[in-house]
Structure formats: C-alpha cells, structure tokens
C-alpha cells in the first residue's frame, strides 16, 4: 500500500541496500519485495526484529530518517492499547539513541490515544497522519533539508 501510494504521488521509496536487506532477512526471515518499507514483523518475533531494524537503520549511511508506520487510532479494535504503547516506547528509546529524525506515520487522520501521543512527544517524535499526506510531508522535509545543505555548502 505504501509503495502504491508513493508511486501514485511521484515519491521515491528506494529499496534497502543489499547488505541491510540480507541482515534483516537473516534475523526476521524473508522480507517480501525489496525490503522498503521494511516489515519488521517478519517471522513473528516483532520486538527483537524491531530493535534490530531500528539499530540497522540508525547505522545505515543511506538512511536520513526513520519512519514507523502504525494504526494507532484511539479505540482501535484490532490492537491492544498497552501493546501499541510498548511498541511506541520501543521506538521512542531507539529515537533517543539516534541522531536521525524519527517519525510516526499514522495510517489515517483521527484521534490517537493520548498516552501514545504523550510517549512520542516526550521523545521528540513527530506524528504525521495519513499515508499520502505523511509521505509527502517527509519528502518535502527531505528536499528542504537537502537544499539547505547544498546552499550552506555553496555559501561557505
């Protein structure tokens, strides 16, 4: 779904570098497609897979930001609030140990559990809602950052 939305809106979601993809496949099991977006659920051991994926993305020189896609609507019938909060706390810990921006991309606009919002805000993680809108916003921030860096490099 993310790749379809990105393609329909002329946004690039490049594949994982081969070494990173091989490393993730080793831990999480075969990841479908080109590995980006990365399905950290993989073999079903989500907690260690997510920790490993977040550490690998932090170490990757080819990734400037980390985006965690979840559906955290308040009262979500297919999720337990405490389970979602545990995953978000795990994401927040990784963000705190990282020098890269981290974003929560929420699948749709709507009310997000206030405990989830507090957890992410406390970690400095921006919450972006709507896949199309969110991917577009991240793309614009990345382009702005690249243009700013080019300008700074050329003006020195």
What are the extents of the domains in the chain?
16-63, 64-156
Say which CATH class 64-156 falls into.
Answer: alpha beta
| Mean pLDDT score, 126-150 | 84
Map tokens 């091989």 to a residue. 22
pLDDT tens readout for residues 58-89: 999 988 889 998 876 666 666 676 788 899 99
CA separation for the pair 5, 11 (Å, rounded): 8
pLDDT at 154: 74
**Closest C-alpha to 67, from 122, 127, 143, 147:** 127
% of the chain surpassing 90 pLDDT: 24
Across the chain, where does the E strand assignment appear?
A: 66-70, 102-106, 126-129
Report the chain's mean pLDDT, rounded to a whole number. 83
């Amino acid at each position: 779904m993310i790749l379809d939305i990105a393609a329909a809106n002329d946004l690039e979601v490049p594949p994982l570098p081969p070494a990173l993809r091989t490393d993730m496949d080793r831990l999480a099991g075969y990841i479908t497609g080109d590995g980006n977006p990365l399905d950290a659920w993989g073999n079903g051991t989500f907690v260690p897979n997510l920790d490993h994926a977040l550490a690998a993305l932090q170490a990757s020189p080819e990734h400037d930001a980390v985006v965690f896609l979840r559906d955290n609507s308040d009262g979500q019938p297919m999720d337990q609030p405490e389970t979602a909060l545990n995953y978000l706390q795990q994401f927040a810990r990784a963000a705190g140990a990282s020098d890269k921006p981290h974003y929560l991309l929420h699948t749709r606009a709507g009310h997000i559990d206030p405990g989830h919002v507090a957890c992410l805000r406390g970690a400095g993680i921006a919450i972006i809602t709507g896949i199309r809108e969110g991917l577009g916003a991240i793309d614009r921030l990345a382009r702005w950052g690249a243009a700013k860096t080019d300008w700074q490099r050329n003006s020195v």
